[in-house]
Structure 1
Amino acid sequence: MSTQADHGNELIPRPELTPDALRAALAIVAPGRLDEMQATKDEAFAEAVEWQSFSPVQSWVLMWARNIEIARRPELSASYAEAESNLEHEDPAVAREALRELSTVLDEALRAVRE
């Protein structure tokens, strides 16, 4: 695991961008998602073979690094959960704001893992 800049109360350090490091981090911050991670990894590797491209594997790594970034940072995780819970709110303004916040959280997490 790398020692990146502190973003507040992080549960674990930011993992390296390797399948093993990401899996180890997920086992700590969201162990209930390990089966989902494995299934999407299998799909990404199958697509990589079919397409003769590393692009699906690179996308898989970034997707899970982003997901782990959110899970390892409680304030980001809370913002994500709140926004997600309001996506289908009956008030369209609340739903729009939730979509904006969700996009902001995802963008912030992706920027952080690309540092």
Structure 2
Amino acid sequence: MSTQADHGHELIPRPQQTPDALRTALASVDPARLDEMQASKDDAFAKAVEWQSLSPVQSWVLAWARDIEIARRPDLSTRYARAKDNLEHEDTALAQEALRELSAVLDEAMKAIRE
């Protein structure tokens, strides 16, 4: 796990972007998703072999690093959950704002894992 300047608002440190580190981190912050992670990993590795490319594996790592970044940070997790809850709101303006917020959370998480 990497060290961060401020762990006061993080449940765990940001993990390294390796399958084992990501699995360990997910087990800490969202263990209910471990089966989903394994299934998507199996799919990514199968595609990598079929396509003779590492891009499916790289995409898998980035997607799970992003999701773990959200789960390990209560601020992002709260914003993400609230936005997802409002995506199909009957008020179109509220649903559009939820989509913008969801996109902002995903962008913030992705930026953080690429630092």
Is the structural similarity TM-score above 0.5?
A: yes
Task: Tell whether 2:110 aligns with 1:110.
Answer: yes
* Counterpart position of 1:51: 51
In structure 2, list runs of 5 or more residues that go unmatched. none
1:33-48 residue pairs with structure 2 within 5 A? Answer: 33-48=33-48
Q: CA deviation at 1:95?
A: 0.2
CA distance in 2, matches of 1:7, 1:95: 32
Which TM-score applies when normalising by structure 1?
0.98
Count of residues paired in the alignment: 115
CA distance in 1, matches of 2:93, 2:35: 35
Q: CA deviation at 1:28?
A: 0.2
Q: CA offsets, 1:20-71, max 9 Å, x none?
A: 0000000000000000000000000000000000000000000000000000
Query: In angstroms, what is the RMSD of aligned CA positions?
Result: 0.9
Letter in structure 1 aligned against 2:77: S
1:43-82 residue pairs with structure 2 within 5 A? Answer: 43-82=43-82
Q: CA offsets, 1:58-99, max 9 Å, x none?
A: 000000000000000001000000000000000000000000
* Counterpart position of 2:99: 99
* Counterpart position of 1:20: 20
**Partners of 2:48 and 2:55 within 8 A in 1:** yes
Q: Percent identity?
A: 77
CA distance in 2, matches of 1:5, 1:23: 23
Which TM-score applies when normalising by structure 2?
0.98
Q: CA deviation at 1:5?
A: 3.2
